[in-house]
Amino acid sequence: MTSGEHDPDRFEWTSKKRPPRPPSTLPARFRLWVDGELFLVDRPTDRADTYDYSRLTGPDPGHGFSSGTGGWHRDMADHLEECRWFLWMVDPVTGHIEDD
């Protein structure tokens, strides 16, 4: 490989290479319906780079998860994806992520 050629096996990821994203226009706390389930989405003031998701419906209301943003602002599509991953992972009977 000569100087200036792109090596696809060598990739460095840094936050400086991420495209800028505008600040979130979403409130810090809101409710979100995802695939028939209601979630409370909350960005705590003491953890600005984290969102807490509480499932308000289902077999164990109030159970949920937290997700870090890595400094990125999340848009609605991001929140929908996070909640869908959670719903995909939980046992529909218990509402919890079961160990294999």
b vs e for 27-51, b when ≥16 Cβ sit within 10 Å of the residue's Cβ?
A: eeeeebebeebebebbbeeeeeeeb
Nearest CA among 81, 78, 83, 49 for reference residue 65: 83
* Whether residue 23 has pLDDT greater than 80: no
Helix ranges (H only) for 1-100 are: 76-89
Task: Provide the pLDDT confidence category of residue 29 given band limits of 50, 70 and 90.
Answer: very high
> How far is residue 44's CA from residue 67's CA, in Å, rounded to a whole number?
12
pLDDT in tens, 37-83: 999 999 988 887 899 999 999 999 999 999 998 877 888 999 999 99
Q: How many residues does the chain have?
A: 100
Task: Provide the pLDDT confidence category of residue 88 given band limits of 50, 70 and 90.
Answer: very high
Domain ranges of the chain: 22-89
